[in-house]
Structure 1
Amino acid sequence: MNRLTLADTAAGIVSLLILTAAAWVAIYGPAAPIPLHFDASGQADRYGDRHELAAALAGLAGLNLLVAWMTGRQADAAADPIRQKGLRRGQWLSIIIMGATAAFVAWSSLSPAALTGAAHPGGAMAFLAFILLVAGAVLGRVGPNPFIGVKTPWAYKSRLAWDRSNRLAGRLMFWLGALGLIASPFAAQPTGLIALTIGVLIAAAWSVFESWRVWRADPERQPF
């Protein structure tokens, strides 16, 4: 039986905290309809009840456990210490992203501004920028896995393509996140959020192309 690691324990704690928040929302959350979705300008365009929000939080808790557990088991099975370390980084990254997403979902629906039907205009941009910053700081050191990273067919057929495309994606995401965080309090919305989203799409396309380019030039690549 595999022993629990610090990352496994952290995943359990984060999921328990999210489930506790879900239970609190289901029992003590606002009885009136609460905003569950916002348009690009930060205005609520769909409402629901507290049980729907609680179910969404519970789903995030379950997803966090599933991804962390599967990534952790891959790390346990890895014979290469470098690959094992890379998978552990991916496990930590998934825990941080899931925890931050749950906190953002709850804040978006339950903050005083949200209950009036309007979210903080830079909130979504700041959240996306934070996720990009954290993911970018780690992504280049995450080993091949089915959950996190530039998961193209070429990256799975060439370790060099995986490493280089994920390092490129990590650098691009980190700097997009840093610039987004700096700009989020001042940028006009939804222009700022749209610009950041376009930047992410360009970074993703560039990283996918890089995985193909490196795979094609790698003499040790696996054929299809």
Structure 2
Amino acid sequence: MTRVKPDALDLASIVLIVAVASLAIWVGTAGPTTPIPIHFNLAGEADGWAPRGQVAWMIGGLGVVAAATVGGCSLYARRAQTDPARRRSLKSAQLVSLLAFASCIGLIAFPLFSAVPPSQGAHMALTALLLLAVGAFLGRVGPNVAVGVRTPWNYKSKLAWERSNRLAGRLMFGLGLAGLVAAPIAPQPLGFSALIIGVLIATAWSVFESWRVWRADPDRQPF
């Protein structure tokens, strides 16, 4: 079998995993000795704190999940060299997962290096960027267990998977674009709350679409 060299996405995944592991070790051994903010309310004010040991375990645990997710997508993409469509889907899933985990780690790590908590507008802008990235690739992701509208009906109908994920991608991209434009001017926490409500509505709509298309698909698989 021909050995496949790591691509830029694989290298970025390795960098993220090493960075997360290093951050977890630093926090646990030499991080702040005072309680670290780990949760912020809708007004952007810290309302939950934890000692550095707990924060280190949180970061390390998230790193393990990230390594398993992006590493699994990369591994299966390497094994799908003879199936370009499946490989493209897995690489898209790897990219989306990488961006999602990087955003989560960034939000957790921010209070470690700044005395000023991130504003709600910054949270909204970061969420909007993530939605843009997810929306740009979601419509092209084939069936997988990592990202996408993963309903029971979608796994029984290729048409349902394609249409519901295409719809979800368009909705997420539109929400991300609107959120990014509105982030600097929207009153908070109303703006961020509206963005989250929009995501919930888009998710529910996409789930309903997967059921609707599966039900009308003559080639669907029975349960």
The two structures share one fold, judged by TM-score above 0.5: yes
Mapped to 1, the partners of 2:115 and 2:5 lie a distance apart of 39
Report the RMSD for the aligned CA atoms in angstroms: 1.8
Per mean C-alpha deviation after superposition, the further-off stretch among 194-203 and 85-94 is 85-94
Contact 1:36/1:109, CA 8 A, preserved across alignment: no
Mapped to 1, the partners of 2:217 and 2:87 lie a distance apart of 23
TM-score (norm 1): 0.90
Equivalent position to 1:61, from 45, 63, 66: 63
The alignment-based identity, stated in percent, is 47
Contact 1:135/1:174, CA 8 A, preserved across alignment: yes
The residue that corresponds to 2:18 in the other structure is 16
Deviations 1:41-60 (A, max 9, x none): 11111111222222221112
Matches within 5 A, 1:26-105: 26-78=28-80, 80-105=83-108
The residue that corresponds to 1:212 in the other structure is 211
TM-score (norm 2): 0.91
Matches within 5 A, 1:112-131: 112-114=115-117, 119-131=118-130
One-letter amino acid of the structure 1 residue matched with residue 119 of structure 2: H
What stretches of structure 2 of length at least 5 have no aligned partner? Answer: none
Deviations 1:160-216 (A, max 9, x none): 111111111011001101111111122122111110111001100111111111112
Per mean C-alpha deviation after superposition, the further-off stretch among 70-79 and 209-218 is 70-79
Contact 1:149/1:166, CA 8 A, preserved across alignment: yes
Per mean C-alpha deviation after superposition, the further-off stretch among 164-173 and 16-25 is 16-25
Contact 1:39/1:45, CA 8 A, preserved across alignment: yes
Mapped to 1, the partners of 2:185 and 2:30 lie a distance apart of 35
Report the Cα offset of residue 4 of structure 1: 5.4
The residue that corresponds to 2:6 in the other structure is 5
Partner secondary structure for residue 85 of structure 2: helix
Report the Cα offset of residue 108 of structure 1: 4.3
- Seen in structure 2, the aligned counterparts of structure 1 residues 49 and 60 have a Cα distance that, compared at 3 Å, is same
Partner secondary structure for residue 97 of structure 1: helix
The residue that corresponds to 1:181 in the other structure is 180
Mapped to 2, the partners of 1:108 and 1:178 lie a distance apart of 27
